[in-house]
């Protein structure tokens, strides 16, 4: 269970976290540029290009915690390809009796607005209650979450997703064993689709500056009786593909190393995946592949840092056009005011 809506910043504020803990508020901006050999995740096109991102962020800690992250991205500095995103989060933390026992109430919102591709716009709001409670040597996490997702496209159904979440952190020699399960419903029109997400993590905090995490997930969404959430054509659109997944398996490896004297961080991430999609009309789709990423962050001073990153993704699909390789290299600078 997360202590804060830090995931909103996509890692933007984690780099300077020791500095930020000394302040109850901060404002900053991240400017980055990346080059990729496949902008649209499609095998037959493989268009190369640059993506430039400008991401302002703001956070305040008080009676309520408030986080904001904005993002403006543009492809090849073309005014036709501008995308705007905004994330807002409000959270209240309650300290419960017993060391480390806490309860979190949160409400988050997200908006994605393409300037010239209105059908790709969406709005999401979700909130819930999350509990972290020590039971002997075990850490129990439990929570409830309700999300509402609204799409601008008439070809995708808006839906509500209430879910229950639970996990248990079990200390073992040299690592933590963390099983978990999320269960809920995807509700739209006359459909009530149960789904389950089983997870298992092995967390190796080897030293204070070096950690390794192995994890796996198995996600299953029941098939609708009559109406699918998206149309046939959008099942083949990479932007909407997450809405059509019936079953998904992930195996993940995360390695993080801190170089305290150099004020630098190195992170490596690898995931292997398999996705089965709903059969909509006569379309049958199954994807397998991997995503690997490497990122190096360097703190220049309390207000400035920079990063360089590289990622590579391979996707094999039963739909020929959606079999592709995508490589990406990027760099950016972050300023805290």
What is the pLDDT averaged over residues 197-211?
92
Determine the pLDDT at residue 7: 42
Question: CA-CA distance, 67 to 61, in Å (whole number)?
Answer: 9
Name the pTM for this structure: 0.89
Which residues in the chain belong to E strands, given as ranges?
25-36, 49-60, 65-75, 82-95, 102-114, 122-135, 138-151, 159-172, 175-188, 191-207, 210-221, 245-259, 264-277, 286-301, 304-317, 324-336
Residues 36-71: tens digit of each pLDDT: 999 988 877 778 999 999 999 999 988 999 999 999
Secondary structure of residue 6 in the 3-state scheme:
helix
Cα 237 from chain centroid? 19
Residues 245-274: tens digit of each pLDDT: 999 999 999 999 999 899 999 999 999 999
Q: Supply φ then ψ for residue 49, to 5 degrees.
A: 175, 170
Nearest to 251 by CA among 204, 198, 299, 209: 198
Nearest to 29 by CA among 66, 71, 67, 65: 71
State yes or no: pLDDT of 116 exceeds 60: yes
State yes or no: pLDDT of 207 exceeds 90: no
How far from 130 is each of 66, 127, 217, CA to CA, in Å? Answer: 17, 10, 20
Determine the pLDDT at residue 248: 98
140 in Cβ contact with 180 (< 8 Å): no
Sign of the Cα pseudo-torsion (275, 276, 277, 283, in order): positive
197 in Cβ contact with 166 (< 8 Å): no
Residues 140-177: tens digit of each pLDDT: 999 999 999 999 998 899 999 999 999 999 999 999 99
Determine the pLDDT at residue 22: 52
Residues 80-95: tens digit of each pLDDT: 899 999 999 999 999 9
Cα 88 from chain centroid? 15
Determine the pLDDT at residue 6: 38
Average pLDDT, the chain: 90
Residue holding tokens 């600078």? 333
Residue 179: other Cβ atoms inside 10 A:
13
Domains within the chain, CATH numbers bracketed: 5-336 (2.40.160)
Secondary structure of residue 20 in the 3-state scheme:
helix
Q: 179-185: long-range contacts (C-beta < 8 A, 24 or more apart)?
A: 180/141, 184/145, 185/161
């Amino acid at each position: 269970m997360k202590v804060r809506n830090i995931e909103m910043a996509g890692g933007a504020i984690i780099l300077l976290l020791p500095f930020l803990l000394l302040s109850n508020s901060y404002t900053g901006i991240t400017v980055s540029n990346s080059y990729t050999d496949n902008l649209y995740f499609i095998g037959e096109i493989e268009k190369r290009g640059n993506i430039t991102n400008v991401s302002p962020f703001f956070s305040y800690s008080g009676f309520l915690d408030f986080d904001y992250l904005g993002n403006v991205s543009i492809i090849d500095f073309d005014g036709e390809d501008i995308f705007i995103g905004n994330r807002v989060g409000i959270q209240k933390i309650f300290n419960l009796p017993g060391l480390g026992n806490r309860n979190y109430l949160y409400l988050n919102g997200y908006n994605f607005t393409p300037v010239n591709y209105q059908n790709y716009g969406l709005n999401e709001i979700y909130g819930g209650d999350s509990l972290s409670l020590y039971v002997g040597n075990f850490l129990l996490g439990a929570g409830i979450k309700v999300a509402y997702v609204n799409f601008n496209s008439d070809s995708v159904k808006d839906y509500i997703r209430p879910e229950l979440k639970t996990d248990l952190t079990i200390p073992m020699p040299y690592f933590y064993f963390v099983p978990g399960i999320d269960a809920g419903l995807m509700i739209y029109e006359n459909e009530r689709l149960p789904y389950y997400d089983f997870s298992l993590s092995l967390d190796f905090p080897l030293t204070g500056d070096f950690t390794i995490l192995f994890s796996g997930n198995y996600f299953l969404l029941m098939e609708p009786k009559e109406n699918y959430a998206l149309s046939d054509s959008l099942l083949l659109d990479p932007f909407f593909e997450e809405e059509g997944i019936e079953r998904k398996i992930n195996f993940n490896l995360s390695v993080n190393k801190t170089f305290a004297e150099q004020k630098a961080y190195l992170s490596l991430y690898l995931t292997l995946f398999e996705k089965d999609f709903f059969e909509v009309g006569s379309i049958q789709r199954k994807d397998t592949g991997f995503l690997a990423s490497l990122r190096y962050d360097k703190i220049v001073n309390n207000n400035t840092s920079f990063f360089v990153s590289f990622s590579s993704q391979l996707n094999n699909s039963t739909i020929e056009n959606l079999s592709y390789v995508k490589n990406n290299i990027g760099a950016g600078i972050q300023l805290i005011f």
